[in-house]
């Protein structure tokens, strides 16, 4: 499977000109043996950066509870919070398909609850699809959502919303019986109509088996190289999580260290008075006349626009 996958390598896409990827185009990537690159995003600026970097899918993951909100699990994250972040990400993304994560207990109570909450991700959050954690027990819900026009990404294996049931964030499917269970979960979600499925925290050979067995793309995180795609939490990928270094995370930058150094330089320049130098100031409007009285400078019209303001063009 591995060497059959064709890829774009590290070539970034010009997302400002590219058309938005669609559910059928993502599904078709498996048949075309094109690997899928998915990254989480939680706000518009990161979404734009990750989109321009070439990611095919942006996941507004409930991992935001841990990396943005500072929680120790994803369980307290609410639907309203997810929709808020989804809206921001949708504004920043142009080419990538945006997927919103249904948080803990936001779909299990009834079909009505599942449909209502999932629909909000599309209508209010601007997402093109939702993701939900669960296997055989989630299949009926997935089927209903898909039939009503809400595309679904499944998520099996290590499902962080079940952290207490699993006894921690532990690799799943390690015994033959447990592996059969994860396979059955993946097959059930694929049969229910999901267009892709996240495989998290499972042995690489089990992920390879599932990838070969089901017709939809598998997107791995801690599931080895044989999956049809990979997903990482953007804070991990960029080196923004100094206290966490899971085995499956490769850091492609060290932005926490770089950011901390930049802030230290700023603080030092503020305290010494080196910032803002003339280059970062708007100049003088008043001049002092010969008698030491302040007045309007002749060369600065009173109605001259101030070239400032916080926005994308300044
Ligand atoms: O919430 C999340 O970011 C996720 C990914 C880790 C797959 O579910």
Query: What integer pLDDT is reported at residue 2 of this predicted model?
Result: 41
Q: Whose CA is nearest to atom 5 of ligand 1?
A: 61
Query: What integer pLDDT is reported at residue 314 of this predicted model?
Result: 39
Q: What is the rounded CA–CA span in Å between residue 185 and residue 179?
A: 10
Q: How confident is the model at residue 243 (pLDDT cuts 50, 70, 90)?
A: confident
Catalytic residue chosen out of the listed positions 124, 200, 254, 279: 200
Query: What integer pLDDT is reported at residue 313 of this predicted model?
Result: 41
* Annotated catalytic residue 200: yes
With the most atoms of ligand 1 within 8 angstroms of its CB, the residue from 38, 75, 101, 102 to mutate is: 101
Average pLDDT over residues 79-106: 98
Query: What integer pLDDT is reported at residue 302 of this predicted model?
Result: 55
Q: What is the rounded CA–CA span in Å between residue 153 and residue 132?
A: 7
Q: Whose CA is nearest to atom 1 of ligand 1?
A: 61
Distances (CA, A) of 307 to 26, 204, 275, 280: 43, 55, 19, 11
Burial of 236 (0-12, 13-18, 19+ CB in 10 A): buried
What residues line ligand 1, using a CB cutoff of 6 Å?
A: 40, 59, 61-63, 101, 155, 198, 200, 221, 231, 233
Tens digits of residue pLDDT in 93-130: 999 999 999 999 999 999 999 999 999 999 999 999 99
pLDDT value at 188 more than 60: yes
Query: What integer pLDDT is reported at residue 285 of this predicted model?
Result: 82
Q: What is the rounded CA–CA span in Å between residue 287 and residue 298?
A: 9
pTM of structure = 0.89
Q: How confident is the model at residue 306 (pLDDT cuts 50, 70, 90)?
A: low
Query: What integer pLDDT is reported at residue 245 of this predicted model?
Result: 87
Atom of ligand 1 nearest to the CA of 40: 3
Tens digits of residue pLDDT in 203-229: 999 999 999 999 999 999 999 999 999
Q: How confident is the model at residue 244 (pLDDT cuts 50, 70, 90)?
A: confident
Cα torsion 25, 220, 107, 126: sign: negative
Asked if 15 and 94 touch (Cβ cutoff 8 Å), the reply is: yes
Q: How confident is the model at residue 4 (pLDDT cuts 50, 70, 90)?
A: very low
Query: What integer pLDDT is reported at residue 159 of this predicted model?
Result: 96
**14 vs 44, which has greater pLDDT?**
44
């Amino acid at each position: 499977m591995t060497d059959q996958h064709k890829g774009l390598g590290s070539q970034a896409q010009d997302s400002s000109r590219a058309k938005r990827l669609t559910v059928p185009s993502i599904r078709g990537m498996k048949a075309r043996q094109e690997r899928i690159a998915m990254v989480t995003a939680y706000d518009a600026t990161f979404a734009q950066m990750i989109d321009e970097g070439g990611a095919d899918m942006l996941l507004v993951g409930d991992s935001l509870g841990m990396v943005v909100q500072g929680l120790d699990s994803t369980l307290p994250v609410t639907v309203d919070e997810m929709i808020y972040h989804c809206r921001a990400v949708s504004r920043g993304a142009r080419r990538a398909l945006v997927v919103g994560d249904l948080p803990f207990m936001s779909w299990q109570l009834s079909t009505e609850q599942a449909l209502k909450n999932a629909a909000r991700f599309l209508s209010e959050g601007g997402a093109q699809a939702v993701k939900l954690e669960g296997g055989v027990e989630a299949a009926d819900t997935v089927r209903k959502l898909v039939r009503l026009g809400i595309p679904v990404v499944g998520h099996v294996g290590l499902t962080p919303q079940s952290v207490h049931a699993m006894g921690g964030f532990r690799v799943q499917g390690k015994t033959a019986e447990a592996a059969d269970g994860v396979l059955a979960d993946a097959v059930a979600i694929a049969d229910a109509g999901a267009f892709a499925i996240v495989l998290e925290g499972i042995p690489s050979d089990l992920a390879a088996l599932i990838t070969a067995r089901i017709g939809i793309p598998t997107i791995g995180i801690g599931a080895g190289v044989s999956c049809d795609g990979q997903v990482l939490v953007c804070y991990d990928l960029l080196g923004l999580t100094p206290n966490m270094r899971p085995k499956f995370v490769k850091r492609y930058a060290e932005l926490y260290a770089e950011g901390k150094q930049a802030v230290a330089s700023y603080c030092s320049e503020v305290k010494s008075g080196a910032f803002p130098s003339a280059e970062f100031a708007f100049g003088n409007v008043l001049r002092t006349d010969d008698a030491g009285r302040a007045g309007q400078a002749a060369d600065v019209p009173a109605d001259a626009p101030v070239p400032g303001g916080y926005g994308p063009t300044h």
